[in-house]
Amino acid sequence: MHPDRGWPFLSDPHHPILSAIWAIAIHGVISLVVVWPILMYSSRRVLYGTLAFIAGPGLDLDHVIAAQSLNPHAIESMSQRPDTHSLLAAVVLALLALAFTRHRLAAWSVFAIVVAHLLFDAAGGSEHWLYPLDAVDSIPWLLCPIGIAALTAISWALVRVERSRQDGKRIDKIAAT
């Protein structure tokens, strides 16, 4: 991809390996941020944190498929990101997570991680994040941190709901005895 307009200091096709390392790091960190409240609620923080960190940049595997190469230069010089970098893909992946795990926090985590990835990438442009609509391909850069903060806040709210549900089940169990 061409240097991102929104994040010109972060991606440079002249240094594709450094750009790839940066992309892995930033997508991993952003993924951890948006699911941090869920991780703190979990009894398996390290495992789920590791999965979240891997899942963030894992979405970029579609770049390898679209470029038909593992060569960082080929991946970095694509004209646009694949159409799988979209809200539609985020919804589909979250629904698959819900179907397989039957756990709402897991499904939300998948959705939040993918959307956080999209927010960061769409701030640079060349992102069909509303695929199949082709009209919008970027967002103002300020929406990225605002969106990440909103996703994190929703994660906090979902954890509070889950805690209250668990407390309600405990109270019901005590009352039944």
What digits encode the pLDDT tens for the residues 85-128?
Answer: 788 999 999 999 999 999 999 999 999 999 999 898 888 666 67
CB atoms within 10 A of CB 61: 11
Tokens of 158: 């979902």
pLDDT, residue 3, reads 42
CA distances from 140 to 7, 79, 85, 120, 122 (A): 11, 20, 17, 10, 8
Higher pLDDT, 87 or 36: 36
For residues 15-42, average pLDDT: 89
pLDDT, residue 123, reads 82
pLDDT, residue 12, reads 61
pLDDT, residue 10, reads 59
Q: Give the range among 117-126, 128-137, 155-164 with minimum mean pLDDT.
A: 128-137
| Cα gap 24→126, rounded to integer Å | 19
Tokens of 117: 């990835």
- Are 119 and 139 spatial neighbours (Cβ–Cβ below 8 Å)? yes
